[in-house]
Amino acid sequence: MIDQFTEGFAMAMRFDTMALVSVGLFAGMLVGSLPGFTTLMAMAILLPISFFLDPIVGIPFLLGIYKGGIFGGSVPAILISMPGTGAAVATSRDGYKLTQKGESRKALDMALYSSAFGDTCSDIFTIVMMFPIAYLVMQFGPPELFAVLLMSLVIIAATSGANPLKSLIMMMLGLWLSFVGTDPLGGVERFTFGLFDLKSGIPLLPMLIGVFALPEVASVIIKNEKSRQLAALVGERLSRAEFRRCLPTICRSTVIGTGIGIVPGLGQIVAAMMGYSAAKNASKHPETFGEGEIEGVAAAEAANNAVNGPTMVPLLTLGIPGDNVTAILLGAFVAQGLRPGPQLFEEQGATVFAILVAMVIANLLFVVIGYLSIPFFARLVTIKTSILIPLVIMFAFAGTYVFRSDATDLLILVAFGIFGIIARAGRFDVMPMVMGFILGPSMEYAFGQTVAMSGGDALGFFLSERTGALIVLIVTPAIGYLLWRRLYGSPARA
Amino acid sequence: MFRDFSKKALTSLAVAGAALAASLSSAQAEYPEKPITMVIPLGAGGSHDLNARVITSIIPTYLNQAMIVRLTPGAGGQKGTQEVANAPADGYTLLFTHNYIDMLQQHVENLPYNPAEDFVTVARVNYAPIAVAVQADSPYQTFEDLVAASKENPGGVQMAHSGNWGALFVPAAQMMKALDMQWNLVPYQGGGPALQALLSGDADVTMGFPSSLAAHVEAGKVRILATAGPERIYDDVPTFAEVGVEGDVGFMHRVVLAPAGTPEDVLAKLGEAFNALGEDKTFTRMMGRLGENIDIIGTAEYDAMRADQSEAYKVLVDELTGQ
């Protein structure tokens, strides 16, 4: 094992590996920062290139695109409140407020450093703890997934808005919206009103852009500040003292993210929200969260990137990818003749360690590339509002359309835009709705599987067979209640 | 340093570049002038996913365009199928599916599409015989052990499958019918998650194709109890017929379909590309690594096979649902 690692380490120290990782990082960052273009799309299109490169060059190249893309996604989230993925939603909350205060550069810097920090720690942890993590992943079946998702939703509802009751209402709405379309287990149509466009459900991207970006545009227009700039300055770079102040938060989020990394598929989104909620709860001044707290950006970004290490584990040890990104990596491995599975480490241990080491190197290169590009990104918001606002509107509509070239998505975008404006006027927070919408289908599927596993008696099944899931379900209401009490006083008063 | 950076790599680099450029322009030109999307109505990591990754990595050489895989799992494959049925019949949206989703589901429920009328075959790529698998430390040493336990405790054996009326569900149902036993069928989002359920002990038995099971069999984690097809695949493992499951059970045809009404010349071009793919040395080698065969069949021949499948499945479903 140690021999394989040292051999792998030496194999990864190649100029061409680093060069192509840098190319991947830069390409991923550009694609990720354009709303509507997904990192997944970029990886799928560039996948064939990796087939004909050396494994230690081709696979890190794809990993570079992936890592660059995640950071790229937080750029529009911070600058124009336009999160392109669920993982960037938590970042946009404080990130955009910082931009409005004229501190966009600081927010981007913090996103970069905390991402790289969280990712590096989780990668190293993964390399060292590969097999224990693989064991944990195996303990995680549908009942556990259901319990963890339910707990996540309760924590999000309890910590996100100013009014827990309103948060719950919005979350229920989100869950209901996620039911629209074809039922994932039985194939029954629900709430589609016979409309074909609703049969495959409501798409996420138009909802995200609609409820987060359009209300911001509307508020700038309503205030009629046409001569002013959205932010007069790009602001200072992040100071070392500020980073040090946020370090406990970053570390906490890294631990949370690494832990949640074993949840298949939804890890990044859940981790970002949990990291953010935990930071807010631990803070001496939770009221500053959501109002431009740099710690909020750090918490979300460290957590969603810390997921990256453990998500590689099922792929490498079982050959079973947890999400679409690792599925693309699986394709790259297979085409190289590296068959992920139980024997991969025995047969190709050095190569696999070389790839994992390259992941860590990619994080370091990422800091350099990000540091150099941030000033250019940050300058975007210093354009005059009379030009910036039309640009943002164009990004919103073009991004929505380019996502899957479906004109119906534009109607959905506008509908959610109007909904977002109304919700804001009524002081309803849209975040719990979005989270309910994103996590709902997985939670429903996991519940359906649990019922099927137990032959219909899910409750007895939790009691008799699934101690872990049962414990999570039992502590969930208590956690929710404590968080409400702590952050908002008695829920009864709210 | 560019040891493996062959002509093919340069081609795919050029194709990828062209793909990015083409997606931004809409000038009329000869098909294909932009990347082709291949929808898979199944989850990540299953055998379709793996096959598709290899196909889409080589076929750009013959189409001069990228082919992009889109995974659209849901509703036992209907979600993705429906998406393609309603896509424009211009050859830019294809469906990579299998015979159960394609021809069986229409007899089970009312579909929002008509498989026979809404689709036309581009090419049958290959076929796979399914295998019944248990964990290596399972108490079921042979298929007979499994059957005996299933009869003794109806519904007590957990069987993980990849979705209702899918590639693992149908052979399981056929087997339950043929041997008069009862399994508890639990759905997972694809063959990969079903296999993970077996490995983690959530499921007692699952089914899988050689491509997905090979690594686990070699590692001594999984034991195969029976395989489909007329001949033994593993010397010491009986065929379905030998254990009393007769007939056309457990064959999955992986097939690429296009929406009906796709122009003849587009179908011809795609057909040529798939035939060329079948001859391609890199493709053959990569599919070999996956443990898959290659047996390309064209539009006319497989469309006839689809009609036969439809008949056979109708009989099966009527029998199973007691109509």
Q: Is B289 inside any structural domain?
A: yes
In this structure, is residue B285 part of a structural domain? yes
pLDDT number for residue B28 = 45
Separation in Å, CA of A199 to nearest CA in chain B = 8
Q: Which residues of B touch A52 (CB under 8 A)?
A: 4-6, 8-9, 12
B87 backbone φψ class: left, alpha, beta (φ>0; ψ -120 to 50): beta
**Overall average pLDDT of the A178-182 stretch:** 88
B56 and B120 in a single domain? The answer is yes
The answer to the question of residue A243 being in a domain is yes
As a whole number, mean pLDDT of residues A384-412 equals: 85
pLDDT over threshold 90, residue A362: yes
Percent with pLDDT over 70 in chain A: 94
Instruction: Say yes or no to pLDDT of B24 above 50.
Output: no
Based on the domain organization, do B223 and B195 belong to the same domain?
yes
Choose the final residue of a domain: B243, B261, B296: B243
Across A339-353, A373-387, B256-270, which has the greatest mean pLDDT?
Answer: B256-270
Among A23, A38, A49, A348, pick the best mutation site for testing chain B contact (most B Cβ within 10 A).
A49
Q: What is the CATH number of the domain that holds B27?
A: 3.40.190.150
Asked if B19 is an interface residue toward chain A (Cβ–Cβ < 8 A), one would say yes
Pair A282, A274: CB distance under 8 Å: no
Is it the case that residue A494 has pLDDT exceeding 50? no
State the smallest CA–CA distance between residue A226 and chain B in angstroms: 32
Asked if residue B59 belongs to a domain, the reply is yes
The domain in which residue A178 lies consists of 2-488
**Element of type H or E holding B176:** helix B169-179
- pLDDT band at residue A158 using 50, 70 and 90 as cut-offs: confident
* B136 and B234 fall within a common domain: yes
* Residue B216 to residue A324, Cβ atoms within 8 A: no
A187-214 residue pLDDT tens? 677 888 877 677 778 888 899 999 999 9
Q: What ipTM score was computed for the predicted complex, to two decimals?
A: 0.83
Q: Does residue B41 share a domain with residue B105?
A: yes
Residue B260: per-residue pLDDT: 93
Q: Which of B9, B188, B199 is closest, CB to CB, to A52?
A: B9
Q: Where residue A326 falls among pLDDT bands split at 50, 70, 90? A: confident
pLDDT at A109: 93
Number of domains in chain B: 2
> Any chain A CB within 8 A of the CB of B22?
no
Judge if B123 and B135 occupy the same domain: no
User: With an 8 Å Cβ cutoff, are A327 and B49 in contact?
Assistant: yes
For residue A494, tell me if it sits in a domain: no
CATH code at B187? 3.40.190.10
How high is the pLDDT of residue B109? 76
Report chain A's terminal Cα–Cα distance, integer Å.
56
Q: Do B1 and A323 touch (CB under 8 A)?
A: no
pLDDT at A226: 52
Question: Rounded to a whole number, what is the distance in Å from the CA of A142 to chain B's nearest CA?
Answer: 9
pLDDT of A35 higher than 70 = yes
Considering B199, B221, B243, which residue would you say is the last residue of a domain? B243
Does B82 contact A at CB distance below 8 Å? yes
Instruction: Looking at the complex, report in whole angstroms how far the Cα of residue A331 sits from the nearest Cα belonging to chain B.
Output: 5
Residues of B in contact with A47 (CB under 8 A): 53, 56-57
Is residue A137 scored above 90 in pLDDT?
Answer: no
pLDDT of residue B173: 87
Out of B243, B268, B285, a domain closes at B243
Q: How far is B247 from chain A (nearest CA, A)?
A: 28
Is residue A194 situated within a structural domain? Answer: yes
Q: How many residues does chain A have?
A: 494
Peptide bond into B263 cis (omega under 30): no
Give contacts of A16 with chain B, Cβ < 8 Å: 1-2
Work out the average pLDDT over A296-318. Answer: 91
In our burial notation (b when 16+ CB lie closer than 10 A, e otherwise), range A306-342 reads bbbbbbbbbbbbbbbbbbbbbbbbbbbbbbbebbbbb
Question: What is the span of the domain harbouring residue B236?
Answer: 131-243
Residues B120 and B268 in one domain: yes
Tens digits of residue pLDDT in A454-492: 888 888 778 778 888 888 888 888 888 888 777 766 544
> What's the confidence (pLDDT) of residue A491?
46
> Is pLDDT larger for residue B228 or for residue A194?
B228
Q: Which pLDDT score, from 0 to 100, does residue A233 have?
A: 62
Q: Which residue has the higher pLDDT, A437 or B289?
A: A437
What confidence tens digit (pLDDT) does each residue in A215-235 have?
988 988 887 665 555 555 667
pLDDT of A493 reads 43
User: pLDDT class for A368, splitting at 50, 70, 90?
Assistant: very high
Whether residue B179 sits in one domain with residue B275: no
Best residue in A21, A51, A61 for a mutation probing chain B (most B CBs within 10 Å): A51
Does residue B171 sit within a domain? yes
B135 in the same domain as B232: yes
For position B289, what pLDDT does the model report? 74
B8 vs A contacts (CB less than 8 Å): 52
Contacts of A44 in chain B (CB under 8 A): 68-69
Closest CB from B9, B193, B289 relative to A53: B9
Question: How is A393-429 classified by DSSP, letter by letter?
Answer: HHHHHHHHHHHH--THHHHHHHHHHHHHHHHHHTT--
For chain A, say whether B199 makes contact (Cβ under 8 Å).
Answer: yes
**How many domains does chain A divide into?**
1
Residue A479 maps to a domain: yes
| B162-187 CB burial, b ≥16 within 10 A, e <16 | bbbbbbbbbbbbbbbeebebebbbbb
Q: What pLDDT was estimated at residue A418?
A: 96
Bridge-based pairing state of the strands B67-71 and A189-190: unpaired
Rounded to the nearest integer, the mean pLDDT of chain A is 86
Query: B186 and B76 share a domain?
Result: no
| DSSP SS3 for A30 | helix
Task: Give the model confidence (pLDDT) of B111-121 as tens digits.
Answer: 888 998 999 99
A493: in domain? no
Q: Do B222 and B281 sit in the same domain of this protein?
A: no
Is residue B78 assigned to a domain?
yes
